[in-house]
Structure 1
């Protein structure tokens, strides 16, 4: 696959201002599908998956991701990409091994932070702007209610059975980055230290994987 240095803060986490999000009136079928997606997400305890991240210009990267709800996530990119992302304790930690630079963001400042909530509701402070179906897939485009200029997150589920397969984030220029999950394993138990940041610069110096 073609590779490149990813953006300083990968688009799988961040949605920059993208202007107002178009909304359509929701039908009864839309509401039923939103309820199915919400119920599935709230039943999700943990998952481990391989992922492929593809930018609109075709640049790509792969890696392994872990999610434990509520509030924990780790995305580790395969070499030569030097990136590590860890969510825990209400924060996202981003580390670039090549630059040896670490960045911290509030969990609530990232679109995926919405998915890591304890009691996830696709209503209230989250607005569903669009529901689309086709090719056996269900797509829900959502944004923060009253703050559409922050950008949007589209969740892509298989329709039957319903299961999260992909998400997409749009940046300020309308460029889309997609993250697709495969080889997904549900319900696993993972070591707590997997979600401890413990600045990787020091861990590497100590020879701790």
Structure 2
């Protein structure tokens, strides 16, 4: 997978392993009882999602915006596709996470468990253990939960942003090891979506064919 594709997809793969060197870990703040209650509510909400589909807008560190569709079927399956002209997509079939680089017309695959994409795909989501919550922030109408990978805190941070009434995921923000921020906002997410049985299986798109006259 190319560096450009890796940077585009990392926010939607929830801190999938990056090729960049690790930076110093961000400082965490002791969680209060109120913070822990928010974390527990976030866990309960995430575990309550079985299927979900949403349009999204992704804003990169350079201000570039990309749109697309994010689909989720827990446990184990997800698919994300960017709107044209971007042809890249990612699909997880329950075991393997496959990246398609539309420009290079190449695929690369990795076990789901080797990335933190597994965090949102696992049957039982816990914001503890292999992930550590470093901060909980309450703003007007929203709460933010920031976490990192416990065993490799220099890999970057992921902040989940929830609307508080009703409590639901609205966006996430990734800060990579270089301190660059990418934010993804969900637009009118819908839960309880029915997907075709083969929707989360990788199929290689038809390759371009040059026509010589």
Cα separation, 2, equivalents of 1:198 and 1:169: 28
User: Paired residue for 1:129, among 119, 134, 139?
Assistant: 134
Please state if 1:7 is matched with 2:4. yes
Across the aligned residues of Structure 1 and Structure 2, the Cα RMSD in angstroms comes to: 2.0
Cα separation, 1, equivalents of 2:116 and 2:206: 27
Please name the residue that 2:36 is paired with.
31
Is the Cα contact below 8 Å between 1:88 and 1:196 reproduced in 2?
A: yes
Please name the residue that 2:102 is paired with.
97
User: Paired residue for 2:182, among 169, 177, 180?
Assistant: 177
Question: Between Structure 1 and Structure 2, how many residues are aligned?
Answer: 200
Please name the residue that 1:53 is paired with.
58
Please name the residue that 1:70 is paired with.
75
Please name the residue that 2:155 is paired with.
150
Gaps of 5+ in 2: none
Shift of 1:6: 8.6
CA separation of 1:158 and 1:130: change in aligned 2, threshold 3 A: same
TM-score (norm 2): 0.87
Deviation by residue 1:13-65 (Cα, 9 ceiling, x = unmatched): 23633431221000000000000000000010110100011112101110111
- What SS class does the counterpart of residue 76 from structure 1 fall into? strand
Cα separation, 2, equivalents of 1:15 and 1:52: 22
- What SS class does the counterpart of residue 194 from structure 1 fall into? coil
Please name the residue that 2:143 is paired with.
138
Please name the residue that 2:114 is paired with.
109
TM-score (norm 1): 0.88
Shift of 1:105: 2.4
Please state if 1:186 is matched with 2:179. no
Is the Cα contact below 8 Å between 1:15 and 1:170 reproduced in 2?
A: no
Shift of 1:66: 0.4
Cα separation, 2, equivalents of 1:6 and 1:112: 18
- What SS class does the counterpart of residue 7 from structure 1 fall into? helix
Structure 1 moving runs of 4+ over 6 Å: none
- What SS class does the counterpart of residue 34 from structure 2 fall into? helix
Shift of 1:80: 0.8
State which drifts further: 146-155 or 76-85.
146-155
Is the Cα contact below 8 Å between 1:67 and 1:73 reproduced in 2?
A: yes
